[in-house]
Chain A
Amino acid sequence: MLLSPPGVLFALIGTAGLALPLVQFKPNRIVTGEGIGLHALPLGLPLAAALCGLLLATCLGRWPAALRLAAAVSGFVTVILSLGLAASHLTPEGNTIARVSPASGFWLLLLAFGLMLADAVGRLRPSLAMRWLMLAAALGLVAAILASGLLDGVSVMREYASRRDLFGREAQAHLMLAFGSLGAALLVGIPAGIAIFQAPRWRGPVLGVLNILQTIPSLALFGIMIPVFGWVAASLPGAARLGVAGIGVFPALVALFLYSLLPVVSNTLAGLSGVPAATRDAALGLGMTRPQVLAQVLVPLALPVLLAAVRIVLVQNIGLAVIAGLIGGGGFGTFVFQGLNQTAMDLVLLGALPTIALALVAGIALDLLIQAAHRGTP
């Protein structure tokens, strides 16, 4: 075949991106700005030509997957560098009010090369170790670009620069919400899953209650937690001293914990039930006690299913923790909702982009862990 169909799709998306404005220039943060294309920038024409060439070249014929990967990465980096270039060129010297934000063209180009990257990685079928390396390399590349200061003129980075300390605190709060609720859910959920595995009578009621909990909209669950903990803090002596309060991080943490219980409990049960009866009998026949069978046979064999629960919960909680911003629980949601209220989209991006990145990295890393765990079990 002369043309690679996915390549044609990427080229279509990418050329559309080249035709649309790369950035939006705004004299200040709130007003709507004007779109500026890549070709209108100094060095823009050769850059656009290079990107166009890359997109067209990858349409043709059958490139080896490794070469495709290289093309995708270089395209990706070029698009990001063009954004930085546009920002530093368009902002007048010393002006701190003007904003240059990424526009539709930038996002489409990023999408085109991102899809190309995904396609290439999928075709390459890298080994597990290679995948870890790729993840680390991607993180390193992003960190290097951010640290190099090339993007400092871009609106999101300006929002970041003006609230560096706050960003660090909210990042910490976000991680604490996501991982703290995961930890609590594992501490409670795994024993609960083991308990209903051994007492089948309780499976229906426990899973039923957790299922219903899951249907309460996140916004409402967060909202209900506020008065509940406000009341606990006010009426239980000592509770307030332990950090229990109606506002802040505590209600958000508990709401996330409640959402996390169902995946953990049901996957623990599924993982334990999935161990063949013959394996269990063999372990008992070897003279192991029941607790030993549980700890040395059942739980290790159920590990991949348990890790799958960790993946579901972690990715879900990183996303849901955004809502904590609405009830004063901190996290990246603070920026998202502040930005939405002020219609300052750069601020929304400052909250949304790290959340997406965090969820992506957590999802990929746990997928790799699950694969590794599957290898350990037959």
Chain B
Amino acid sequence: MTGRILLGLAGLVLLAFLAAPSAFAPLFQPFTRNNAPAIYTQTSLLSLTLSHLAIVAVAVAASTLVGLVLAVLVTRGAGREFLPLARTVTAVGQTFPPVAVLALAVPVMGFGTGPTLVALFLYGLLPVFENALAGLTGQTAQVTEAARGMGLTPRQRLWQIDLPLSLPLLLAGMRLTAVISLGTATIGSTVAARTLGEVIIAGLLSSNTAFVLQGGLVVGILAVLIHQGFQALERRIRGRMGLA
């Protein structure tokens, strides 16, 4: 219960800060030097936050869609030939540093939001795909038997059994992807994407800790809220399916 109240408070403080950042200036003033501005004003923090969230949302949605479709494809029919390959590729892919992927996407896509989206999408694919795969293949023998006994066609089994039952695991994959993407998107600002990283980098360049702190805090609070939101959703679905 206290956890929930704290979360609500953090959310409210975040909203208040984004709505009227200048009201918080006294809080950040001690972290500046030589009368540097305490609040980042080049671009409105609210618009940066929205753009940051939009980039993350698009990337997570795309990687969820593609990851899920790939997981369905490699678990049935002719796609099964690809299963060992897919497992190896996901294992190897996860060792690729996101910063390196971001940097390598720049020559192909130029500066801006594009490379960030691609890097987040590629990096987000793996957790979603892995979890979807575990969800789709992890059904107990009884469930499989029951589905066969009921005379479900493969298509019916996919839509009525496998996909609904893998939903909690899929959500857990999306949660991982979303939280990683939130942090990684800040690095996108080094290649001129409009994210909250802009604030942090401005702080680094002008050695203004107040900027670094406010950028980092906004992203951190967002990450905690999104993490908890997904977890609450997972618990609810698990509860409804009688899994928990």
Give me the interface of A with B, judged by CB distance under 8 Å: 4-6, 9, 104, 115, 118-119, 121-123, 212, 215-221, 223-224, 226-227, 315, 318-320, 322-323, 326-327, 333, 336-337, 339-340, 345, 348-349, 351-352, 355-356, 359-360, 362-364, 367
Contact = CB atoms under 8 A, between A and B. Distances in A.
Contacts of B213: 220, 224
B204 A327 contact: yes
B92 A351 contact: no
Contact of A348 (B103, B196, B216): B103
Contacts of B85: 6, 115, 118-119, 122
Contacts of B182: 215, 217
Contacts, number: 150
Contact of B88 (A118, A212, A339): A118
Interface string B83-125: 0110111011011111110011011100000000000000000
Contacts of B106: 340, 345, 348
B216 to A, nearest CB: 3
A367 B94 CA distance: 13
A5 B204 contact: no
B207 A322 contact: no
Contacts of B224: 212, 215
Given A123-B84, A219-B200, A224-B213, 12 more contacts: A104-B108, A121-B88, A217-B184, A217-B215, A219-B204, A224-B209, A315-B94, A319-B100, A326-B204, A348-B103, A352-B100, A355-B100
Contacts of B196: 217
19 contacts: A6-B82, A118-B88, A122-B87, A215-B179, A217-B184, A218-B186, A220-B186, A220-B200, A220-B220, A224-B212, A226-B204, A315-B94, A315-B95, A320-B99, A336-B100, A336-B103, A345-B107, A355-B100, A367-B91
A337 B189 CA distance: 12
Contacts of A216: 183, 216, 219-220
Contacts of A217: 182-184, 186, 196-197, 200, 215-216, 219-220, 223
B209 A223 contact: yes
B216 A119 contact: no
Contacts of B103: 336, 339-340, 348, 351-352
A121 B190 CA distance: 37
B90 to A, nearest CB: 10
B219 A322 contact: no
A115 B200 contact: no
Contacts of B187: 218-219, 323
Contact of B99 (A9, A226, A327, A333): A333
Nearest to B212: A223
A108 B125 CA distance: 19
A212 B220 contact: yes
Given A118-B89, A323-B99, A360-B92, A223 B84 contact: no
B99 A336 contact: yes
Contacts of B197: 217, 219
B141 interface: no
Given A119-B85, A345-B107, A221 B99 contact: no
A356 B97 contact: yes
B203 interface: yes
Contacts of B108: 104
> Top 4 closest A-B pairs, CB basis?
A220-B216, A319-B97, A223-B212, A363-B95
Interface string B192-223: 00001100110110010100110111011001
A323 B213 CA distance: 17
Nearest to B201: A219
Nearest to B95: A363
B31 interface: yes
A309 B13 CA distance: 35
Interface in B146-196: 179, 182-184, 186-187, 190-191, 196
A194 to B, nearest CB: 26
B226 to A, nearest CB: 9
Nearest to B226: A215
Nearest to A9: B82
A167 B109 CA distance: 27
A277 to B, nearest CB: 24
A226 B183 CA distance: 19
A367 B92 CA distance: 11
Q: Most chain-A CB neighbours within 10 Å: which of B99, B106, B196, B212?
A: B99
